[in-house]
Structure 1
Amino acid sequence: MVDEPGAVTQARPVVVIGNFDGVHRGHAELLRDAQAAEPGAPLVVVTFWPHPMSVVRPDQAPPLLCTLERRTELLREHGASDVVVVEFTPEVASWSPARFVDEVLRPLHPARVVVGENFRFGFRAAGTVETLAALAGDDFAVTSVPLLTDGSQPSSSTLIRQAVAEGDLGRVRELSDHAFRFSGVVVKGDQRGRELGFPTANVAVPPGMAVPADGVYAGWVTRLDEPDAPRWPAAISVGTNPTFDGLERRVEAYVLDRTDLELYGVPIAVDFYARLRGQVKYAGVEALIVQMHSDVEHARQVLHASSLAL
């Protein structure tokens, strides 16, 4: 094919494949290696939604660290010029490695495909890096990247999920280079916080999404419906409100020193920074109010110290 005079030839992209749940340090390293392998080429990320395990083995599907929108945002922050989402269905799960290459990769016309060294694809994960290279032929190059480790274990979404489940937010930041974020639309709760002087923005915890262990945390709240919205410091509760015999698990965030916010129906992000204490059932409202004042001051001190450390 001969380009017409004056035509601009689009560089063939370098393509990276993976689930990328949480977009942790290992994922970021993979994207950097891909960019270094093809300097100046567009970086296209291929990811899957929903998580393949939720289709192949639903009883073993892991809780997701972030929404697809958040995953896409983080991938673009790490240099992706485009994010291609493959809808993972039972039919896609049945594809052979060759069909996966023909249906997903060849239409992207990659110059190179970059994957982690443990990459598997196709029906029953039959395809390996070697399989991919053989199927690529002379059409595109294939590069595998060693897994990033913390000195003992590979950085992985599994380790981050474990840290989130334990409420170990410092460990989460070590593995991912960012705070754990939980997002959703603010719903009307029992309004007890408002009555107690601590109005909260309540977000339900949907099935299949990771959330920190029950307890009280310091963190931040950001509106997602306004560009350049401020990040508000907050005291955050995760749990069921055992003092009031609650049953529904949810995230409740009190923005420090703000009683004027109207956030019902607003999408927000709740960024968890540090765990302050576990969930406790108090003997009465008075004891709970005393503890809430203590939690707010503790959160204020922790977040102030975090800003000085930046």
Structure 2
Amino acid sequence: MQVWHDLGQAAEAFAAGVGQDGHTSSVVTIGNFDGVHRGHQAVLGRVVGLARADGRAAVAVTFDPHPAQVHRPADAPALLTGLADKLDLLARTGLDAVLVVPYTLDLADLTPDEFVTRYLVEALRARTIVVGHDVRFGKGNSGTLATMVELGGQHGFEVVAVDDVGVSRLRTPGGSARWSSSAGRLLLAEGDVAGAAAILGRPHRLRGVVVHGDARGRQLGFPTANLGRISGMVPADGVYAGRLLRPTLPPDHPDRVLPAAVSVGTNPTFDGVDRRVEAYVLDRDDLDLYDEEVVVELVDRLRPTLRFDGVDALVRQMHDDVDRARELLR
């Protein structure tokens, strides 16, 4: 999958022909695609299917940073995925290319016609645009589905509107909801990583670089990898069964995917104040992961964070957590 970070790259690619078949026009969709959840996957699958049928490139337009981080940074939602993971997940859908548009106030000031003309028509040579019924674009989100259809008539592209896909039963207050990024965030905020996985279509992931901690886990017999510079929404405090993935290793390497018990929280037994994500690779004390970028998958929550009366009680609970994680991941 090609990744373009400006219009010039996209225009040059289409002039040369995109993909192995040298496509000179495209089927396009636009969105933030945070989490690339099952609803997104259905829309992107529609884009890829139409593109293959019409002999065009399948392209997604996304934004970085998230628009909310520009317009209301103080209360912008936590993102389910950072850009690196979002691009990886988008690549898995079969897209030929993604245009990552730097989101700025100048971009937000473009009229719907200016945005469509500059980005979708001139740069991406769109012949079909796939959007949801609730699409909003252009200055003040003034562009709607009707606007897109009208612009399609002016610029010669077809508009395909897709319905909301899927309904996920939330195990938190709120009843049911369509597959959406906001529903995934709600579940993660409650620690329901299994419920979030039902929306995402995979376990939720955190990406970070392994940094030095207090070495307390090693002293207790459970050496942990402490994540720094984390991307991906950190769920509610607790202990989780999961996996530690090492993307820098070859796919067939025996240590690329490792079962783990993951702690999220402040270590209240030791009066900790810093919120941390720490992963203990089950039954391994020989790994040197410092300064390595790793991914932690969260499969299920074992328990909330607890404060114990002493180290002995904590260690007994940690042994129980590891046993439960081992059984669940088996």
The gaps in structure 1 that reach 5 residues or longer are 1-7, 305-310
Tell me the equivalent position of 2:267: 241
Spell out the pairing of 1:215-226 with structure 2 (5 A cutoff): 215-226=238-249
Gaps (5+ residues) in structure 2?
A: 1-20, 169-175
Alpha-carbon distance change, 97 to 138 in structure 1, aligned in 2, over 3 angstroms: closer
8 Å Cα contact 1:47/1:83 also seen in 2: yes
Aligned partner of 1:148 in structure 2 is 165
**1:142 partner amino acid:** V
DSSP-derived class of the 1:186 partner: strand
In structure 2, C-alpha distance between the alignment counterparts of 1:275 and 1:213, rounded to whole Å: 10
For 2:212, the equivalent position in structure 1 comes to 188
> Which residue among 63, 82, 99 is the counterpart of 2:97?
82
Give the Cα–Cα distance (whole angstroms) in 2 for the partners of residues 205 and 35 of structure 1.
Answer: 34
The yes-or-no answer on 1:170 pairing with 2:178 is no
Deviations 1:96-148 (A, max 9, x none): 11121122112110121111111101111100111122223243111111111
Secondary structure at the aligned position of 2:178 is classed as coil
Q: Distance in 2 between matches of 1:9 and 1:138?
A: 23
Q: What is the rounded CA distance, in whole Å, between the counterparts of 1:9 and 1:47 in structure 2?
A: 23
**Aligned partner letter, 2:41:** A
Which of 117, 138, 143 is 1:102 aligned to?
A: 117
1:205 to partner: Cα distance: 6.3
SS of the aligned residue for 1:294 comes to helix
TM-score (norm 1): 0.91
| Structure 2 residue corresponding to 1:161, chosen from 178, 185, 189 | 185
Q: Report the counterpart of residue 4 of structure 1 in structure 2.
A: none
Identify the match of residue 13 of structure 1 among 26, 29, 34.
26
SS at match of 1:134: helix
Shift of 1:227: 3.0
- Whole-Å Cα distance in 2 between the matches of residues 139 and 78 of structure 1? 27
> Which stretch shifts more, 265-274 or 208-217?
208-217
Aligned to 1:251: 277
Work out the CA distance in 1 between the residues paired with 2:29 and 2:204: 24
Does residue 62 (structure 1) correspond to residue 85 (structure 2)? The answer is no
Q: CA deviation at 1:85?
A: 0.3
Residue of structure 1 in register with 2:10 after alignment: none
Aligned counterparts of 2:40 and 2:267: Cα–Cα separation in 1: 36
* Distance of aligned partners of 1:9 and 1:86 in 2 relative to their CA distance in 1, 3 Å threshold: closer
Question: Does the alignment pair 1:121 with 2:137?
Answer: yes
1:281 is displaced (CA, Å) by 1.1
RMSD across aligned positions (CA): 1.6
CA pair 248-205 structure 1, distance change in 2 beyond 3 A:
farther
Aligned residue for 2:81, secondary structure, equals coil
Q: CA deviation at 1:60?
A: 3.0
Q: Report sequence identity in percent.
A: 46
**Aligned residue-pair number:** 296
Structure-2 residue corresponding to 1:280: 306
TM-score scaled by length of structure 2: 0.86
**Shift of the alpha carbon at 1:194?**
0.8
The answer as to whether partners of 1:205 and 1:251 remain within 8 angstroms in 2 is: no
Counterpart of 2:289? 263
